Each structure stands twice: as C-alpha cells, then as structure tokens.
Copies of this chain bind each other. A is one copy, B any other.
Amino acid sequence: MLHLESDYNNGAHPKVMEHLVETNNQKSISYGFDVWTESAKAKIRKATACPDADVYFLVGGTQTNATVLDSMMERYEAAVACTSGHINIHESGAVEFTGHKVIALQAHNGLLTADTLRQYMKTFTADADNTHMVQPGVVYTTFPSELGTIYKAAELSELYDVCREYGLKLYVDGARMGYGLASYDNDITLPFLASHCDAFYIGGTKVGALCGEAVVFPRKGCMPKHFFTSVKQHGALLAKGRLVGVQFDALFTDNLYYNIARHAIDLAMLMRDMLQRLGLKMWMQSPTNQQFVILPNDVMKRLEEKVVPSVWCPYDDENTVCRFVTSWATDEKEIADLEAALKDAIAGKA
C-alpha cells in the first residue's frame, strides 16, 4: 500500500535516530535537565534569535496545545480560534477539558484573519453585559494552518497588532512549522514569528522526530509562572526528558529541520502539479506539504485498493476531499506511484 495519508506514518529521520543511538548508553540527569536538552534549547534560542527564550519540550501536539493554552489563561478566560482550528475540532475537547471555552470565529482559507478578530473584539468590548461572558484571553492560530495555508508576514503582524490592541495573547500552533518555513510562498522566518506572538511551538512529531514539540516563550515574562509544575500536572513531563531533547538537538544541527521540510515541500509541489495535470480540482490552494484534492467517490473507492485512505471530508454527494501529505520519508517514486494509481482509478480500473 502507498502511504501518503499523513506526515506521521513513519519513524524518525535517520539523523535523528542516529543521535538517539549514539547517546543511548550515556547516563544523564532526568526530566529534561540533560546536556542534549540544554544544547537543543541553546540552538533553538539561536534559530529564533531569542536569547532570553524559555524553551520546553513536550511530547505531542494536542498535549502541547492544552498545556500551554491552559497555562496562559486565567480561569475565566477562553481561547479564540477559527472554526477549522485544530483545538476546535480534532482534539477531543482537550482545551475545554481544562475548563476553558474555545470561541470559534469564521475561518478564511483555514486562517483566522485580523479583520475577523477585530470585529469580534469590537463587538465584545462594546457589550455592556460582557462580564456575563467568558473573557477572551488567548488567540490560537496555526502556522501553517490545518488546511496547509500560511499567513504572509504582514498578515501575522496585523493579527498580532489586534491582539495587543485588545490585551490578548497570541499563541501559534506550529505542529507543521517546518513546512510553513520551507514553503516557496513563505516570507516568515522563525525570528519574525518569535517577535510576533507570545508563545509558539516548533513541531517535531510531524517534521522528522519520533515525538516531541518544542514550546518557545520568546521573551522574558512570556512563560507562565511555575510552568514546569503545570507541565507535570497535565501529564506532559517525560522522566527521560532526553528523548525529546536529543531529537531536537539533531533537528537543529546543520539545518536538518529546514532541510527535512524543504524536501517534503519539493515533493508536495511535484504532487500538486501532477494532480492538476490529471485535471483534478484542488480544494484548497496549499503551498505546504498537505495537498487537498477533490475526488469523485468512485475514483476514491478504487484508489483505496492501492493507497492508504485519506478522506478529509465530504465535498458533495458525489465527491470527497482527500488529503495527500509528504514528509522526510516520501520519495519521488511514491509520487509517481500515486499518479499511476490515480490514472487507473480515473480510468475505472481498481
């Protein structure tokens, strides 16, 4: 079976695995106080141009979102996201489980725009009865979005302006950060991002690691008090913290994190061209490693004989949106195989 259904259907990038192996027989202080974790933190501080950043390594995306958002909010505050935001749909209510509402505003191509946020906050602050409402506290957004789209630097900057105007914090979920940075359409750098939000994470799981996300509080005062204890309280503290530290130490050596992502982007663009060459309609114009294409239901059914299913959502009664994703573990042959399988499926062959 052809595996293009996700970027987490694989192991670690060989260089990440290599670093795990070469450090395996050494002993270390636990809970993330080991030398590799310290080294990884230093490299991330450098890559983000944030010498004062507090960096924490957590295990997975939903866990990171719930832990960081809960810690950034007061008890009476809510997270503001767009309707397609990951925390609003695909995290089993993990944020609400910590006691906070997710206020979902309209999405534009998978993104929360400055205008939408401004309009909401204008109405909210003008409402004399807003003390009877949960108070918006943190804005949640993603880079790239769940639908593969990305902000331009100017758009993110404007969004952050609105946040600061209304006293909101901005948190960026970077589960696929690398693919955003490496996109040919992108004009956002890690230092730019770090100076235009209050917290973000650099996703490892979906960009070449076995697991692990690097949470960055870019400036002094950004990290919630007693964050270490909160991480433990949320069940997110690894006894062998080195597991994630070692991986990020490798990812931030010799540009590996970026190179992994660029490889995936190149293949994604190849795939996008191929899909369009076959006359298929894209659901979303994505410049990153996730490509969403509209397939007739019968084509999709035949395709599933050879390709691991990747249904995103119904398009209409006769068509379905499918997602194809590249990663470090994708190669050109797989794109060619997908093309062949699609041609067969379109031609009515199983």
Residues of A within 8 A of B (CB): 3, 6, 8-12, 14, 17, 20-21, 23-30, 59-64, 66-67, 70-71, 74-76, 78, 89-94, 96-102, 104, 123, 126-129, 131-135, 205-206, 210-211, 225-226, 228-230, 232-240, 242-243, 308-309, 311, 313-314, 329
Q: Which residues of B contact A104 (CB under 8 A)?
A: 104
Complex contact A131–B96 (CB within 8 A): no
Complex contact A25–B11 (CB within 8 A): yes
Q: Which residues of B contact A311 (CB under 8 A)?
A: 128
Complex contact A11–B23 (CB within 8 A): yes
Specify the main secondary structure of chain A where it touches its partner. Answer: loop
Complex contact B3–A14 (CB within 8 A): no
Complex contact B12–A24 (CB within 8 A): yes
Q: Which residues of B contact A210 (CB under 8 A)?
A: 20, 240, 243
Looking at A92, A232, A329, the one whose CB has the most chain B CB atoms below 10 A away is A92
Q: Of B27, B89, B205, which contacts A133 at CB under 8 A?
A: B89
Q: Of B24, B26, B135, B239, which contacts A205 at CB under 8 A?
A: B239
Q: Of B78, B102, B232, which contacts A91 at CB under 8 A?
A: B232
Min CB distance, A70 to chain B, in Å? Answer: 7
Complex contact B235–A66 (CB within 8 A): yes
Q: How far is the CA of A74 from the CA of B127 in the complex (A)?
A: 28
Q: Which residues of B contact A99 (CB under 8 A)?
A: 93, 96-99
Complex contact A132–B59 (CB within 8 A): no
Complex contact A27–B329 (CB within 8 A): yes
Q: Which residues of B contact A30 (CB under 8 A)?
A: 6, 8-9
Q: Which residues of B contact A93 (CB under 8 A)?
A: 76, 78, 99-101, 133-134, 233
Closest 9 CB pairs of A and B: A63-B235, A93-B134, A11-B24, A3-B27, A93-B101, A8-B239, A92-B233, A96-B101, A92-B232
Complex contact A26–B11 (CB within 8 A): yes
Complex contact A20–B23 (CB within 8 A): no
Q: Which residues of B contact A9 (CB under 8 A)?
A: 27-30
Q: Which residues of B contact A63 (CB under 8 A)?
A: 235-236
Complex contact A233–B17 (CB within 8 A): no
Nearest-neighbor residue (CB-CB) of A4 within chain B: B27
Q: Which residues of B contact A206 (CB under 8 A)?
A: 239
**A134-B92, A239-B8 known; A74-B228 Cβ under 8 A:** no
Q: Which residues of B contact A23 (CB under 8 A)?
A: 11
Looking at A12, A26, A128, A134, the one whose CB has the most chain B CB atoms below 10 A away is A134
19 other A-B residue contacts (CB within 8 Å) besides A76-B229, A96-B134: A3-B28, A6-B30, A10-B26, A17-B20, A62-B235, A62-B237, A64-B235, A70-B75, A71-B75, A76-B233, A78-B96, A90-B129, A92-B134, A93-B99, A96-B100, A96-B101, A128-B311, A206-B239, A210-B240
